[in-house]
Structure 1
Amino acid sequence: MSHWILIPLLLPLSAGMINLLLVRKGVFAQRLVSIVTACALLAATLFLLSGAQDGHIEIYELGNWPAPFGIVLVLDRLSALMLALTALLALPVLLHACCGDDLRGRDFHVLFPLQILGINGAFLTGDLFNLFVFFEILLIASYCLAMHGQGPERTRNALRYVVLNLIGSSLFLIALGTLYGVCGTLNMADLALKVAGSTPGQAPLLRASALLLLCVFGLKAAILPLFLWLPGLYASVLPAVAALFAIMTKVGVYAILRTQSLIFSSQGPVPDAAELLFPLALATLAAGSMCVLGSRSLRMLLAWLVIVSVGSLLAGIGLWNEAGISASLYYLPHSTLVMAGLFLLADQAARQRGLTGGLAGDMLEPGPPMSQPNLLGALFLLGAMGAAGLPPLSGFVGKVLLLQAASAPKAVWLWPVALGGSLVALVALGRCGSMLFWKTEGIPLSGTAVSWPRLAPAAALILAGVALAIMAGPVTAYTEATARQLLAPENYIRAVLGGATP
């Protein structure tokens, strides 16, 4: 039992506590603690990722209490991938925030690591109750980060976000209570055994629990019709917060994939939730694509593209085969990193076009020309090509893998919706680029030169999409192995429960 698995939890927890004590010492000391922690977290998660490549499932029993009686942390290929992705996102986002956004409200450097703690805990936990606990940790931190910087629009959208997630948390507790009442356990491996061996009389309650969990996780992932909280929130929060929130929907996607592949697999009597995934995914993709065309600001457009990416991810999972899940797992880091980079780039573009006094900012209307249009335009082009799925970038690779994974009759529905979504995204992003970089008026604003400390994190995240395309071979080999591991839940159950199989 390796103690390394605790590092993704202990590092952000320690950073949050230390930064709370450093509030009166000034922001410089807090920034130093946060950046050192983010670097150490990245190194630790990459180490865990390398250790998970051989397929070994690492179990950590807190207090040495064995499952299903004690709390267990589980590190497999999927959780290792998600931990590394979170750390890879957190470092550039934090560096961008340290350029001044962290001064626009209180306790940023306390809340930021606590949100990372909640996200990492959700990926590592082996039981549903602690999944709820870590969800609440990340949500409480995100409530405060959503309000960071204040403002009436931010407050309004944050309030809507809080209310909807409180409802979601209540439904989560109802589902957990029902599952515990029927099965007597909330350990996910033990639940898999209990659901597989359930009686016909227990099936209605288990089916209701499965549908409730799908609803709760669908709210986190922002699927149709539960996505209405996301566009306004992502468009109004600070750019660094919006970039960090790019991983938030993926926590919901992860929870859907984990519970459906492990607890409510085909061995149990509750197939309804899994059957709903594919049509919900296509509906989410189609609705998000249509709303992209109606966006009136760059950040609103990017927020709708986040919803489009969620639809693409769940479409691959909804195919429920190795190729489809592998395609989604390849597309997941691409969509997270590139969309986060575009949110940070939108901040630089808005600053060059003027943020106050009725100036254009990130609105899609003619505004002052940018002082470095070639540099920003090249980065925007790379990000837009990746988001729209144009070759040869990672978005194209992910879309091709997704389309290849579909077989009849699902391919008949997936191909036109996925390709139509890419076309709509291309048109919308092309119109956006034309408005920002070509349809200008007046002269460049003074004092709006490129801030390299702000631009470098955005460039690094967008270029990560290029790196994913270059490394498509080893990355897809890892995602294929991850998909095979997920579709063989008996290995997970045996590792957690010590020899038990369904």
Structure 2
Amino acid sequence: MTDFLQFWLQHSPIFSILIPTFTAFILVLLGNPGFGSLSHDWRQPWRRGISYLSATLGLVTAISYLIQVSSGQIIIYNLSEWAAPFGIILVLDQLSALMLVLTYSLALPLLWFSSKKWDERGRYFHTMVHFLLMGLCGAFLTGDLFNLFVFFEILLLASYVLLLHGQGKARFQLGIHYVTINLLASALFLIGLGMIYGSVGSLNMTDVARLIPLLDADAHKIAVAGGLLLFVVFGIKAAMLPVGFWLPKTYAVATTPVAALFTIMTKVGVYAILRVNGTVFDDALSHKILQDWLLPIGLITSLYGVIGAIGAERLRRFVGFMVLSSIGTILIAISMLNTQAWSAALYYLVHSTLIAAAFYLLCGWITSQRGAFKDHFNIAPQMKQHKVLAITYFMIALMMAGLPPFSGFLGKVFILQATANMAHQGWIIGIILLVSLLSIIAFTRVGFILFWRATKPEDDAQTEAYYEYQALPAIAPPRNDRVIYFLLTGLVLYVVFANPIQQYMLNTAQQIQHNAAYEALILKKDRAANVISVQPYDPLYLPETKYGGEAIDTNAHLIPYVIDPNTLEGEHISDYKQRQIQQQNREEAQQPSDTQLKPAEP
């Protein structure tokens, strides 16, 4: 047991990525029927069982991470035992643990709900969900900017397939738009990374944060411009204006469980803005640009979202616009660039994700009981479960509009408290209160159409309308109502335990703003306590290991500081390299030399 615990602690961060990865590959190897329905395929129970087990294990792992880092510990995992900035690392801190718990807390009940017919509408549903979870977990854990791009692409590829799940013309048309927008964002992402790497010489987040203030004027401007390109990319992912018009229509055509699961997707963009633009680009110019642009963008996005909701003609698009408005509220808090505001943003982020997922599930329930009227805002016969649906809708409306005593209200109160001594305090308070008022109006309008103005069902057995109404289900779709109640119960508990949760959020905000702590843990130093890093950037330098031949490496003496001792003694470090290391160590002992990487021989 001691050996197992030691192994777990040593390799802990990567398990959250490996679990969905291996699950997805197992589900692919399990195969699918070439013809016929999935409901009659003997492998379908196996797919569901494997998917449940993996998601449960993922949630348990995420909770264990949360417990591990709750005291403020930061856990670093060096892939291939090469330290940063030369190797790719995973960073498990309070923010990444929080996002992992949120992801699996949403994914597990939605997988359980999807396993009642929804997963039979298209092949490889469970496979794609776990590839999506792999991308999400990797994005939340990586400490490398290029690795962030890689995991973004993985989750996006899975989301393309999931968006088309269930087929249909509308899904295909909007799926093309969704793919096109994200391909453009990916191209901008690569351009931004190139600008940062060309000027800084590193893509490790901690190393970039350390080096940005040390650059000369021209290189600094190029790096900041690259950071702004990443900001645009993350803004597209987060669906902030003016690059977020795609969200309401796109999410409206997705199947019910997919739309609910996609509520975490926009939060990846918000997370990246907070992690990269808020902390990696930790210099006065970057912060000034971020504050000057992000605050008005957040205000406009929040206001536009609720105005769009008032004018929406379908319930699913209504939810999409409300999601857009909540994203704006989070961005407002991030733009304040202070610890209290960031903790409030994190609290509201969790609330907005869970309540939006519950609302999309409610859309599926309502649509199933309105027949041909679906989710359009037209006067229709009274739904068979109109009382329980009205109560559920009322609860969701109170939470999403930000009325007391629910989590949406607390989240907005925390944000308003953080505006003290802010230059634009009046604008922030005014817009947030106005959005709350307009949200109440929007929810009242929808509730009035769906419930108050609903007509009496046809009772004449001689009419076709009577038989159409009788054919509608008298109960919620399987597991639909129970998953909604589960999410709403979680949000009620979120309020009950608001004090310790908000303290965790505050500690998280303080931790991610403390770049020196990450630098001390992640970056290696030589015997003179100087950070070993690639600065100035030398494009000719290539670390030579087993396959590099017998070229002279003037930086061989730095290798023992940046790789694991076991790797140093293994076969991948050649005898020729070992002799160079020993020789340079002897020379350094006699006369200490510069510890920065020396230019390679031309």
Deviations 1:73-112 (A, max 9, x none): 0011101100000000101111121111111112101100
| Number of the residue aligned with 2:182 | 165
Give the letter for the 1:288 counterpart. Answer: G
Report the Cα offset of residue 229 of structure 1: 1.1
Which is further off, 163-172 or 257-266? 257-266
SS at match of 2:373: coil
Q: What's the offset of the Cα at 1:367?
A: 1.4
Q: CA deviation at 1:269?
A: 6.1
| Cα shift readout 1:24-73 (whole Å, capped 9, x = no counterpart) | 35322111111111111111101101111110100000111111111100
Report deviation, 1:365. 1.5
* Equivalent residue number for residue 85 of structure 1: 102
Residue 4 of structure 1 is matched in structure 2 by: 12
CA contact (8 A) 2:306 2:442 kept: no
CA shift for structure 1 position 134: 0.1
State the partner residue of 2:378. 365
- 5+ long unaligned stretches in structure 2: 1-8, 33-41, 458-468, 534-602
Match of 1:417 in 2: 431
Query: Where does 1:70-469 land on structure 2 (aligned, <5 Å)?
Result: 70-266=87-283, 271-354=288-371, 359-407=372-420, 408-443=422-457, 444-448=469-473, 449-469=475-495
Q: Is contact 2:278-2:287 (8 Å) kept?
A: no
**Amino acid across the alignment from 1:415:** I
What is the percentage of aligned positions where both structures have the same residue? Answer: 40
Separation of aligned partners in 2, 1:5 and 1:60: 7
- Which residue type is aligned with residue 86 of structure 1? T
Mapped to 2, the partners of 1:136 and 1:40 lie a distance apart of 24
Provide the residue aligned with 1:15 in structure 2.
23
Larger radius of gyration: 2
Instruction: Tell me the equivalent position of 2:517.
Output: 491
Over 3 Å counting, the alpha-carbon distance change for 1:417 and 1:270 in structure 2 is closer
Q: Is this contact kept in 2: 1:45–1:84, CA < 8 A?
A: yes
Secondary structure of residue in 1 paired with 2:85? coil
Shift of 1:219: 0.3
TM-fit CA distance, 1:482: 0.7
> Which segment is superposed worse, 72-81 or 100-109?
100-109
| Cα separation, 1, equivalents of 2:148 and 2:506 | 25
SS at match of 1:441: coil
SS in structure 2 opposite 1:275?
helix
Deviates more, 1:289-298 or 1:18-27: 18-27
Q: Does the CA-based 8 Å contact 2:291-2:336 persist in structure 1?
A: no
CA distance in 2, matches of 1:445, 1:288: 37
SS in 2 for 1:392: coil
Return the offset for 1:262: 2.5
Look up the SS of the partner of 1:341 in the other structure: helix
2-structure distance, mates of 1:345, 1:472:
25
State how far apart, in whole Å, the 2-side matches of 1:230 and 1:470 are: 32
CA distance in 1, matches of 2:229, 2:401: 33
Which amino acid in structure 2 is aligned with residue 36 of structure 1? L
Counterpart residue identity of residue 438, structure 1: W
Matched, 1:471 2:479: no
What 5-or-longer segments of structure 1 have no aligned partner?
none
Deviation, 1:463, is: 2.4
Task: Note closer, same or farther for the CA distance 1:89–1:256 as it changes in structure 2 (3 Å cut).
Answer: same
| Contact persistence 1:195–1:269 (CA under 8 A) | no
d(CA) in 1 for partners of 2:501, 2:104: 17
Q: Secondary structure at the match of 2:167?
A: coil
Note the C-alpha offset of 1:274: 4.1
Letter in 2 for 1:463: T
How far apart in 2 are the matches of 1:69 and 1:163? 33
Aligned residues of 1:261 and 1:486 also touching (Cα < 8 A):
no
The one-letter code matched in structure 2 to 1:380 is Y
SS at match of 2:86: coil
C-alpha distance after superposition, 1:108-133 (max 9, x if no partner):
01100000110110000000000000
Secondary structure of the structure 2 residue equivalent to 1:2: helix
- Alignment-derived partner of residue 506 in structure 2: 480
Cα displacement string for residues 361-395 of structure 1 (whole angstroms, at most 9, x for unaligned residues): 11111112222222222221111111000000000
**CA drift at 1:273:** 3.2
Equivalent-residue separation in structure 2 for 1:144 and 1:94 (angstroms): 16
Contact 2:16-2:58 at 8 Å conserved across structures: yes
Q: What is the CA–CA distance in structure 2 between the aligned matches of 1:11 and 1:374, rounded to whole Å? A: 42
Structure 1 counterpart SS, 2:91 = strand
Give TM-score scaled by structure 2 length: 0.81
CA offset at residue 414 of structure 1? 0.6
Distance 1:498 1:463 in 2: 46
Matched position secondary structure for 1:186:
coil
Mapped to 2, the partners of 1:481 and 1:224 lie a distance apart of 30
How far 1:267 sits from its partner (Å)?
5.4
Structure with the higher helix share, 1 or 2: 1
- Counterpart residue identity of residue 29, structure 1: W
- How many angstroms apart in 2 are the aligned matches of 1:412 and 1:116? 40
Query: Is the 1:316–1:324 contact (alpha carbons within 8 Å) kept by the matching residues of 2?
Result: yes
Deviation at 1:462, TM superposition (A): 2.4
Contact 1:353 1:368 in 2 (8 A): yes
Partner SS state of residue 224, structure 1: coil
Contact 2:330 2:348 in 1 (8 A): yes
1:134-186 CA-to-partner distances (Å, cap 9, x unmatched) read 00000000001011111111111111110010000000000111111111110
SS in 2 for 1:451: coil
Does the 8 Å CA contact 2:23/2:50 hold for their aligned counterparts?
yes
Q: Structure 1: how far apart are the matches of 2:332 and 2:285? A: 22
**Cα deviation code 1:276-311 (max 9, x no counterpart):** 111111111111111111111111000011111110
Q: Cα gap change, 1:268/1:191 in structure 2, threshold over 3 Å: closer, same or farther?
A: farther
Q: Quick one: which of 60, 63, 69 aligns to 1:52? A: 69
Q: Distance in 2 between matches of 1:145 and 1:377?
A: 30
Superposition deviation, residue 20 in structure 1: 0.9
Q: Is the contact made by 2:368 and 2:472 (CA closer than 8 Å) also made in structure 1?
A: no
Secondary structure of the residue that 2:378 maps to in structure 1?
coil
Amino acid of the residue matched to residue 341 of structure 1? A
195-204 vs 234-243, which deviates more? Answer: 195-204
Deviation at 1:492, TM superposition (A): 1.6
CA RMSD of aligned residues (A): 1.6
CA-CA distance at 1:320 after TM superposition? 0.8
Q: Which structure ranks higher in relative contact order (CA pairs < 8 Å, sequence separation ≥ 6)?
A: 1
SS at match of 2:379: coil
Contact 1:360 1:368 in 2 (8 A): no
Q: Which moved more, 1:189-198 or 1:365-374?
A: 365-374
- Partner of 2:38 in structure 1? none
Aligned pair count reads 498
Q: CA deviation at 1:476?
A: 0.3
Residue 441 of structure 1: how far off its partner (Å):
2.3
